[in-house]
Structure 1
């Protein structure tokens, strides 16, 4: 039986090619994902480990502790502590570390990097072991900095150049005195690093006389654990926590692994979708191959082969095909992994140098997935073939499905579909997204399976609906329609592969478009302000930003949103200080209760906070500020919060006397101007802020565009990943048509003999392909809209402005895409059918 299986594989090489390609693509996606994520993870782990070479023990500030009603602050790591640590037994040296966000402007005046990766720090002494100088010297004083070599190379800066930068407020123009190299993972990932002398860094990052971290190097012969034990005697427990350098490296490696895990999971999900679609192709291929060899299998049964041997023979063929596809897919996957790594580098996120990582687990996963998926898909055709009685098979009395099997299939499909719809509806009505995820996911799976089972039943009425259009093409159109419904199961399996891809694409498009519209509406409808000013990386703004904006020409009203911690009812809450007299002119918040008034002891509270505390308009409560002082406040109104504005809003003149921190706290500043939003007004505001690279000035349209850009990027990425499933579906259509043409060789020869021209044969095959593809497209778009609606109902429970938006234009494009798939997939089978020799075809069996 093994020799027979090998012979059959070699005898049907061309017919199995599409199956091999489908499995190969899925395996390549899986192995490429594993190679890529393992390589990136390994490179970052090694790079980050180098960054801890100079650290044997790191001291970080302890956790803030509240004292009575006074909000606690994190203990400071002082210069006195640093001096004490440096003299501890077993310590060779100690470095005080200061860091924070530092926005650098390129020579074009634009921000270098993406904001979140723009960091600044301190250069320790005359020769910092962490940052070897490549050229120049260490920075000294407020007007000098050192710049990392990667950023200097990208931006074209050299020693002696002057650049513009900002930390949280004014623009500085220091001179570059040195360029250094670093193993910092942030820089390796495409970020920037600027270094000041220690005193300047402490001033800029609001750490006067203190450090964010103290790194201690052990003396020769002292282990990290021994040094930590000695330092524990020196550092008070409530002042700082001690961590060995090895533990820091391990923790960093763990964070990198966790970060890569989510990416790996997402990519593997799409690889799984491609493989799932491939299952339909494999099952179709082996069903047709088995049908073509029915008499051969019957003869094997007649000479003594058992049912199990026949099934095993088919499974052995599948195993051989799967092994070839898996090995090829693994090789292609390694190339994909290397290509993805190079692509990431070209997109502005360079990856640390390192070899490609191909683990035994990757090889095992590729081989296991390829072989198992192929054998699983081939098992049902093999089992079905083994159950055919030998005499019936040799007499060809085996083709039609029994009425009982059709009734059973349709009943099962209806039950699965009904259960799926019910579960999805239950999930859509859940109060929270977490509660609805499980029933909705389970329902989606059941509904897709149910529709697949019902597809043969659905094919006849849906394809019949296109009969009037097909009649336009004459006899070719009529034959195409009849061929499409002649074997409903085959048509169903072929159409289902395309259906799954379009279901996911349509559902994601509906959800993304509706959410984008909801957030856009929420962000812009709540604002009367012409502009919103914020930091490029989301950090707080310096208080002088509001002062400068208020003094700018044409500005009629400004208000910062200034965060401050407080205690209410024994819980820590965040207060938001605003300009009480201007906030009504800058916002358009929907008031549920009371009258919107902010000033003195009158505050307004968002609906969620009010519900949590049981407040309503007129309620009074006591707040304990940062400085420990208490004050009674009155809720003048309850408003509907959103992503931009939420929480307890009170006047800054009430809040200011109780702030104890000197650090920035303005998350954003809203600005109203006399002339409204315009390019000239925006330029005027940016100039008032010194053309600061760290600060963004955005009007409502730009806020909306930012949101749209995020969703467009996400959708394009998902479309790219789902393209793999669509490609596999195209292979399925080609495979089905090619084998169908082979099966119908005699019929096609007869059609040619009675006068149907080659052009008519081509047209028939193309129209058959078009009908099958559009059938799958209609089912996919319909299911996608349903899933998009259901997911939207769940999202709407937490997003008040959510409303279902059907992207009719894009859905039309998806349907045209399905039609294009049908036309392209039919090119080769149609050409092959038209070129058949009619006499040889008529003689074939």
Structure 2
């Protein structure tokens, strides 16, 4: 009998392949997305491992400080020099290489233009045989004015052996240059060689090596300035043993076991640790993507469950006959589950194969990124999709298990759907648990409880959706004539409650997700824009080098620019005697009316004679309070000014023009002869200016000040960056969510195909009674629109509510939010949800209406 049932299962999938086509497509899309995410995770992990492993090619053990072990690229606090010396003197150790590093700017000529790159500088090991990379061309540096660069930098920057580059000259760098933040002296280096990096996007890209101990000398100088031990230089030390059989355990026995200022690992453990540190941030992205993949599978589960539920009901007589022939209940249930598992596995294989094909094409066509083709993602995606498919078919299988043969023979196609009290209880339990968790999370400020409550409330609302859906359909049916197209549509939806529930849930889930995303997007954007005022109160701000003649006319010229509302020009006229000023000691004079007009919402920007205006943040850093005296030196001498604290987040010290005249007269102040301090330009644009006029105004201001438009900082630039970043984030999330939307469209179409086949007798009778093909198609289309209208409207309300609840998790973390609603986006979602539902149902409705009545009745009988 088991062989016969397997034959029946295989035959069912073959004969009903057209009805399973959309179900297969939904599973394949979900499998493709899940496998692609897992491949991405595998590629990132393996690429990171390869790029890290290159550095340890000729290393037996790694000594690190605890902070370096947890930092990116080992950039932590340096090891105690005594520990390093103890390791170096060990009889087990052949050589060590302390990785003393620091950042620098490398300048070079690129097609006649001076370009620069931020690089990490290393000292080469004393024994170059310990250098972990092979030379691609050239030779190791032999003198202090030669440098070794990577093959990736040479290719991307157009650099070659023999070319000159400029780096900081740390032999001429002094403590005073570091403390006063002066520009370091420059030295010309010649590229002597290029070392080969095998891993694409290697973490060693941007690393350069020089002979000698220049980097160590600079680090000693920095330690002296910072008041640290000058000899504590390297956070990481690479160790090579004399005997290859020596282990880390052997060396550990040689060292002081009570010293907790270091950790000693073998190379494999070190690589594993470095990989973990480097991909921790990426893991959050992978988790988000896997959440979307799980959501796609969740939507596919709707399709699978609905398909097997309808087909199991239609095959009632077949299942009953198998029972009469001796098949046991468990065998029938296993037969249905095997059909589902076979369907899920074959469909998943198609999606997995497609994802590997795309990955292979990317691997062949792009050498800049490492693409992994490991088999583990395929195995995991196949197992998950097969299990989800089988579990989705479990309710129909259990229903067939409980159905007696006689009942199945007598009610094969007439059985009305029964309410599932278990599902009702599960939905109510999820809602009650979610509500309780929400109360606990908000009242006790626990983000995890709030996130968990949002998930439970969403799950409960999805499970219980058929209840309000049926109630609202019944209410709407009372206001429609029973023989009208609308009345027939509502009656059809109520008759096919299984399909109605499946369609409603898919539409509702997608709309709720988009509504929640829109609510979060609008709130984050508005909150971020409002926060701009706290650190950038002026729309346009720039420091401009001007001579006195240009300064006198610039303010008037900017006033004439179309779109400029107010402007103010600050003249450097003194220097404050402060121990700590985060934004500098220069004092600028402004016309007090011009400054106040730029930010009318603040009443503390009114400059008074003999007062020094300073922000609250800078006053706190300098230890100042209002009404205290501060000495300010100008061209005409020094004066004691009274501190005036403002709530505006200004990044300069200001006085009014009267006080400025008393400090420096009509001249500008310069702390260093020949190096005049820059002027400060502040401006605001008219409130109703459009983006094109705004760009034109910025361009004209940039021309007048001889600046690039990107150098015009301030709130305007910050707002544009926020708008751009939030838009990108929203569109990326919406694009990923599009996978779920696509599966939903497939699911709605699949549901309508199954419903049309199940109700073909009803459709045939309606056609026989005179209903035209066009009218029947309209009835079927209005049926899905009625369900979609209710589901979309409820999805918007619940989605916005859940989005607001989820935002409370950020409030629990200390965020201060300004709530907002993307009304245009919500209206577009409402229209788009109905449109997608209509499009998904149009073709099945048209085909169902096109079946001749006689043919439909013949199929039924």
Unaligned segments of structure 1, at least 5 residues: 65-72, 534-545, 565-574, 610-614, 619-634, 646-668
- Displacement after TM superposition at 1:269 (Å): 1.8
Residue 431 of structure 2: aligned partner: 417
In 2, Cα distance between equivalents of 1:406 and 1:234: 69
- Displacement after TM superposition at 1:672 (Å): 4.4
| Shift in alpha-carbon separation, 1:818–1:107, aligned structure 2, 3 A | farther
In 1, Cα distance between equivalents of 2:725 and 2:700: 27
Give the one of 2, 7, 12 matched to 1:3. 7
Over residues 799-834 of structure 1, what are the superposed CA-to-partner deviations in whole Å (9 max), with x where a residue is unaligned? Answer: 564121111111222223322322332243134224
Residue 449 of structure 1: aligned partner: 459
What does 1:383-532 correspond to in 2, within 5 Å? 383-396=398-411, 399=414, 401=416, 405=419, 413-414=427-428, 416-431=430-445, 435-438=446-449, 440-460=450-470, 462-463=472-473, 476-528=485-537
In 2, Cα distance between equivalents of 1:596 and 1:229: 68
Over residues 101-151 of structure 1, what are the superposed CA-to-partner deviations in whole Å (9 max), with x where a residue is unaligned? Answer: 5477895989889x7xx5444456896834554445667999875543223
- Displacement after TM superposition at 1:783 (Å): 1.9
- Displacement after TM superposition at 1:477 (Å): 4.6
In 1, Cα distance between equivalents of 2:814 and 2:428: 34
Residue 286 of structure 1: aligned partner: 308
Residue 255 of structure 1: aligned partner: 277
| Shift in alpha-carbon separation, 1:487–1:578, aligned structure 2, 3 A | same
In 1, Cα distance between equivalents of 2:496 and 2:33: 32
- Displacement after TM superposition at 1:175 (Å): 6.4
| Shift in alpha-carbon separation, 1:315–1:83, aligned structure 2, 3 A | closer
Over residues 432-467 of structure 1, what are the superposed CA-to-partner deviations in whole Å (9 max), with x where a residue is unaligned? Answer: xxx1322x3333333233323332222245457888
Residue 268 of structure 1: aligned partner: 290
Residue 150 of structure 1: aligned partner: 152
SS at match of 2:103: strand
Structure showing greater radius of gyration is 2
In 2, Cα distance between equivalents of 1:241 and 1:207: 26
In 1, Cα distance between equivalents of 2:432 and 2:77: 57
SS at match of 2:295: helix
| Shift in alpha-carbon separation, 1:547–1:704, aligned structure 2, 3 A | closer
Pair 1:29 & 2:33 matched:
yes
Residue 100 of structure 2: aligned partner: 97
Pair 1:830 & 2:840 matched:
no
Residue 344 of structure 2: aligned partner: 322
SS at match of 1:188: coil
In 1, Cα distance between equivalents of 2:804 and 2:98: 57
In 1, Cα distance between equivalents of 2:776 and 2:757: 13
What does 1:569-584 correspond to in 2, within 5 Å? 577=582, 579=584
| Shift in alpha-carbon separation, 1:800–1:126, aligned structure 2, 3 A | closer
SS at match of 1:286: helix
Which stretch has the larger CA shift, 551-560 or 27-36? 551-560
| Shift in alpha-carbon separation, 1:492–1:40, aligned structure 2, 3 A | same
In 2, Cα distance between equivalents of 1:476 and 1:76: 81
Residue 774 of structure 2: aligned partner: 759
Residue 51 of structure 1: aligned partner: 55
In 1, Cα distance between equivalents of 2:116 and 2:350: 42
Residue 375 of structure 2: aligned partner: 358
Contact 1:519 1:801 in 2 (8 A): no
Which stretch has the larger CA shift, 302-311 or 292-301? 302-311
- Displacement after TM superposition at 1:12 (Å): 1.5
- Displacement after TM superposition at 1:515 (Å): 1.7
Residue 651 of structure 1: aligned partner: none
Contact 1:457 1:488 in 2 (8 A): no
Residue 45 of structure 2: aligned partner: 41
- Displacement after TM superposition at 1:281 (Å): 0.8
Residue 543 of structure 1: aligned partner: none
Contact 2:92 2:243 in 1 (8 A): no
Residue 658 of structure 2: aligned partner: none
Residue 789 of structure 1: aligned partner: 804
Contact 1:606 1:640 in 2 (8 A): no
- Displacement after TM superposition at 1:366 (Å): 2.9
| Shift in alpha-carbon separation, 1:818–1:224, aligned structure 2, 3 A | farther
In 2, Cα distance between equivalents of 1:48 and 1:198: 25
Contact 2:87 2:255 in 1 (8 A): no
What does 1:82-93 correspond to in 2, within 5 Å? 85=88, 90-92=93-95
In 1, Cα distance between equivalents of 2:98 and 2:813: 48
SS at match of 2:18: helix
In 2, Cα distance between equivalents of 1:198 and 1:676: 53
Over residues 17-58 of structure 1, what are the superposed CA-to-partner deviations in whole Å (9 max), with x where a residue is unaligned? Answer: 222222222233333332332233223313321211233455
Over residues 716-773 of structure 1, what are the superposed CA-to-partner deviations in whole Å (9 max), with x where a residue is unaligned? Answer: 3322222221121111111111111112223333344444443334433333334444
- Displacement after TM superposition at 1:523 (Å): 2.6
Residue 747 of structure 2: aligned partner: 732
| Shift in alpha-carbon separation, 1:578–1:470, aligned structure 2, 3 A | farther
- Displacement after TM superposition at 1:785 (Å): 0.3
- Displacement after TM superposition at 1:496 (Å): 1.0
How many pairs align? Answer: 744
In 1, Cα distance between equivalents of 2:511 and 2:849: 31
| Shift in alpha-carbon separation, 1:268–1:441, aligned structure 2, 3 A | same
| Shift in alpha-carbon separation, 1:121–1:386, aligned structure 2, 3 A | same
Over residues 478-498 of structure 1, what are the superposed CA-to-partner deviations in whole Å (9 max), with x where a residue is unaligned? Answer: 433332332233211222123
- Displacement after TM superposition at 1:409 (Å): 6.2
| Shift in alpha-carbon separation, 1:93–1:407, aligned structure 2, 3 A | closer
| Shift in alpha-carbon separation, 1:604–1:103, aligned structure 2, 3 A | farther
Over residues 242-301 of structure 1, what are the superposed CA-to-partner deviations in whole Å (9 max), with x where a residue is unaligned? Answer: 655454334223435655544443332221111111111111101110121122223334
In 2, Cα distance between equivalents of 1:212 and 1:61: 9
Pair 1:177 & 2:191 matched:
yes
Give the one of 357, 372, 382 matched to 2:397. 382
**TM-score (norm: length of structure 1):** 0.72
User: In angstroms, what is the RMSD of aligned CA positions?
Assistant: 5.5
- Displacement after TM superposition at 1:786 (Å): 0.6
What does 1:177-196 correspond to in 2, within 5 Å? 177-178=191-192, 180-183=194-197, 187-188=201-202, 192-195=206-209
In 1, Cα distance between equivalents of 2:242 and 2:424: 78
Over residues 3-27 of structure 1, what are the superposed CA-to-partner deviations in whole Å (9 max), with x where a residue is unaligned? Answer: 3333322231211222222222223
In 2, Cα distance between equivalents of 1:549 and 1:224: 67
Pair 1:708 & 2:730 matched:
no
In 2, Cα distance between equivalents of 1:383 and 1:701: 62
Contact 1:86 1:94 in 2 (8 A): no
In 2, Cα distance between equivalents of 1:413 and 1:188: 50
- Displacement after TM superposition at 1:200 (Å): 5.6
| Shift in alpha-carbon separation, 1:582–1:78, aligned structure 2, 3 A | farther
- Displacement after TM superposition at 1:376 (Å): 1.1
Contact 2:316 2:413 in 1 (8 A): no
- Displacement after TM superposition at 1:365 (Å): 2.4
SS at match of 1:698: coil
Residue 668 of structure 2: aligned partner: none
In 2, Cα distance between equivalents of 1:381 and 1:453: 17
Residue 371 of structure 1: aligned partner: 386
Contact 1:23 1:278 in 2 (8 A): yes
Which stretch has the larger CA shift, 714-723 or 674-683? 674-683
Pair 1:818 & 2:833 matched:
yes
Which stretch has the larger CA shift, 119-128 or 76-85? 76-85
